């Protein structure tokens, strides 16, 4: 007998939550949605900060593939349309070693817009097929390299993303508050038009 894909999901989701909490020193709170019909395994927010949250979809593999001398993390998965991309939806992709019972470095944290654009593998049987294929070697310089992390860096990176989202939301709210004010007059500096100088021969 072997571990099923469902069991793999349970194991890796629990490990992900453990790593996120520990590596953020308890600052991050990963919560499972009641219904997973929007392709998210966790909603993560900063403790005591409820304004912004990050939706996280986990995709893992139990083995690596060899491409020449390079170890490759390849994860194929299917998504029912429509394919939703959002700044608050991210993918965590990793190799889980069953012997050591942990994720192995590097892991990948990829925004959904980028992954959906670059991992699209085809459409068939009523589903969109995606293939993530990245090198695990330290010397790799492929399109997924900017999204490589160590487990030590995972908590800090998620915190950084959430704080950026909070900053963007705060700026949007300030603009909305200004637009909602009565008798507000917008002023802008006058622009001076430069006259064209025609040369006379």
Express each pLDDT in 122-162 by its tens digit.
Answer: 988 889 999 999 999 999 999 999 999 999 999 999 999 99
Residues contacting 31, CB < 8 A, separation 6+: 42, 43, 44, 45
6-29 residue pLDDT tens = 999 999 999 999 999 999 999 999
In the structure, what pLDDT confidence band is assigned to residue 36 with cuts at 50, 70 and 90? low
Summarised one tens digit per residue, pLDDT across range 56-87 is 999 999 999 999 889 999 999 999 999 999 99
Annotation: CATH topology of 5-180 = Trna Endonuclease; Chain: A, domain 1 (3.40.1350)
Average pLDDT over every residue of 93-117: 97
pTM across the whole model:
0.82
Burial class (CB within 10 angstroms; exposed 0-12, middle 13-18, buried 19+) of 127: middle
pLDDT, residue 1, reads: 79
Contacts for 134-141 with beta carbons within 8 Å, 24 or more apart? 134/72, 134/73, 134/93, 134/108, 135/67, 135/70, 135/71, 135/72, 135/73, 136/64, 136/70, 136/71, 136/72, 136/73, 136/95, 136/104, 136/106, 137/70, 137/71, 140/70
Percent of the chain surpassing pLDDT 90: 71
pLDDT at site 25 = 97
pLDDT at site 34: 83
pLDDT at position 186 is 59
The pLDDT value recorded for residue 95 is 98
């Amino acid at each position: 007998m072997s571990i099923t894909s469902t069991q793999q999901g349970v194991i890796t989701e629990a490990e992900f939550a453990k790593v996120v909490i520990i590596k953020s020193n308890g600052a991050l709170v990963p919560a499972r949605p009641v219904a997973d019909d929007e392709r998210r395994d966790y909603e993560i927010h900063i403790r005591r900060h409820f304004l912004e949250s990050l939706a996280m979809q986990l995709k893992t593999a139990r083995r690596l593939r060899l491409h020449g001398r390079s170890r490759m993390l390849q994860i194929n998965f299917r998504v029912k349309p429509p394919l939703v991309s959002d700044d608050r939806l991210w993918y965590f992709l990793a190799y889980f070693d069953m012997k050591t019972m942990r994720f192995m470095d590097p892991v990948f944290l990829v925004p959904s817009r980028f992954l959906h654009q670059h991992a699209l593998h085809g459409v068939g049987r009523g589903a969109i097929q995606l293939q993530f294929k990245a090198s695990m070697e330290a010397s790799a310089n492929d399109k997924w390299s900017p999204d490589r992390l160590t487990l030590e860096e995972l908590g800090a990176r998620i915190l950084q993303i959430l704080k950026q989202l909070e900053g963007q939301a705060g700026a949007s709210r300030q603009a909305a508050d200004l637009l909602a004010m009565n008798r507000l007059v917008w002023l802008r500096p006058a622009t001076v038009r430069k006259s064209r100088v025609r040369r006379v021969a």
